Structure 1
Amino acid sequence: MAVVRPGRLALCTLVTGMLPLLCAPALAAGFAVGAIQPRATERILQVNGNFDLSLTPKVEEAIGKGIPIQLVFDLRLYRQRPLIWDERIKTWDLRRELSYHALSGQYLVGGVSAVPADRESFTSLNEALTELGTLDTVALSIDQALAADAAYRLDVRVRLDIEALPSLLRPVAYTSRDWNLNSEWTTWKVQR
């Protein structure tokens, strides 16, 4: 008959109880779509919204070492139809970049093709992630006029673009969960 000492039982209980706390930082990292407000005029879709962006320690370390990351905001506009599948009207991929400038100690956020002077700078990573995850009145052109009597929806997600990483880092990023930062697709009704 095995005898369990009270000290070992308490230690096992303590360790088992702390496992979720130790794993929580790894589980907390990831991307999520916050609130999106799409509004359409005849040929323009205006999008306001925010995304909750949380990086893993490996991605934060890479940024701190000067490796920029690109996020892709995927947006798909659909016309809703009652009897058959919804018609895709237009797709947009908005790209934004986060980088770290070691000399100034600043995090830079901006469009992928933006010159450094056109980027916003932040002293902390959290401030930079907040700005990176904010879409403020982004105007997107639509090729065709939207029907006044139709209902439209916008599907949205955000993802880390692994293909934009340096080529030597890509195999590691594809095989590591630390680099798999994607949100789920969310659907939002387009206001007219």
Structure 2
Amino acid sequence: MTAHTRLSRLSRTLLAAGLAMLASLPAVAQEEGRFDIRSAYTSLNDGVYFLNARVEYRLSEAALAALESGVALTLELQIEVSRRRRFFTDPEVATLRQRYQLQFHALSQRYVVRNRNSGEQASFSTLYAALNAAGRVIDLPIIDAALLESDDRYDVHLRAVLDVRDIPGPLRLLAFWVDDWRLASEWYTWPLRP
């Protein structure tokens, strides 16, 4: 056996081991970080539909490390109201994005959640409390009832995502390619009722 053959065999073995490790990474990352819509409903009050929801945010190790290194993360709720139709795709009647910025302040050892739509912010001593507050949606106005046809039926769709567009440049590029940064819940759908 020549040195070239041994090197070639070793290279193939190392390549196979490396590929096996890479293949296992997304599965591990998805177990670590996850967003789930636990519950959601709408209520009609004074001619406006309001959203109430409970979202569970679990950050991946990569997102958590970035947060604790001073990178602000944006948690986005994507809300869509669509008309239900039989034979065609459901047209969107309204689309709303509710965005929260999550930051860790190392000096004070506090987590700050800022509603990017309203500017309101709150400070928390633990990450759990901060994520819990961001995941509690109470009476968020989503659509005026006057914009809906009374004879039609509508659905509300809700999804939570980690928006990587606001992450600093080099890290953003990495976030687009690494599954550990692709945190999004499944779409949660229910009928819009008064």
User: Under TM normalisation by the shorter chain, which class is it?
Assistant: 0.7 to 0.9
Q: Cα distance, 1:40 vs. partner? A: 4.1
The question of whether the paired residues in 2 share the 8 Å contact of 1:78 and 1:152 is answered with yes
The question of whether the paired residues in 2 share the 8 Å contact of 1:79 and 1:150 is answered with yes
For the residue of structure 2 that corresponds to 1:107, the secondary structure is strand
Which structure features the higher share of helix residues? 2
What one-letter code is carried by the residue in structure 2 that aligns with 1:55? Answer: L
What one-letter code is carried by the residue in structure 2 that aligns with 1:105? Answer: Q
Deviations 1:154-178 (A, max 9, x none): 0111111111101121111111121
The question of whether the paired residues in 1 share the 8 Å contact of 2:99 and 2:117 is answered with no
Gaps of 5+ in 1: 1-22
Q: CA RMSD in A?
A: 2.3
Q: Describe how 1:23-172 pairs up with structure 2 within 5 A.
A: 27-40=31-44, 44-112=48-116, 118-142=120-144, 145-172=147-174
Identity percentage of aligned residues: 25
Deviations 1:113-140 (A, max 9, x none): 665xx31111100111111111111112
Gaps of 5+ in 2: 1-26
d(CA) in 1 for partners of 2:103, 2:60: 15
TM-score by length of 1: 0.78
The question of whether the paired residues in 2 share the 8 Å contact of 1:90 and 1:142 is answered with no
For the residue of structure 2 that corresponds to 1:150, the secondary structure is coil
Q: Cα distance, 1:79 vs. partner? A: 1.6
The question of whether the paired residues in 1 share the 8 Å contact of 2:77 and 2:161 is answered with yes
